Amino acid sequence: VNFVFTNTWGYQDENGTWSGMTGALDRGEVDFGGTGMFIVKQRVGIIEYIHLYTPD
């Protein structure tokens, strides 16, 4: 098991390349990412979000 830490969720540059965790997911460098990430329309086509579950 390898852990990769980034300082950002990821932003798209002018060439369409993603940085951070989103970029690592998009390039297949990691199998999954875990964080409290905001769902934004730019990332929806790149990564698959799961619903947050919080017990009552």
Q: What average pLDDT does the segment 2-28 reach?
A: 85
Does position 54 have pLDDT exceeding 90, yes or no?
no
Phi, psi of 30 (to 5 degrees): -135, 155
pLDDT at 43: 80
Write down the number of H helices and E strands in the chain: 2, 0
pTM above 0.85, yes or no: no
Residue 31 token pair: 């199998």
**Average confidence score pLDDT of the chain:** 81
What is the SS3 assignment for 12?
Answer: strand
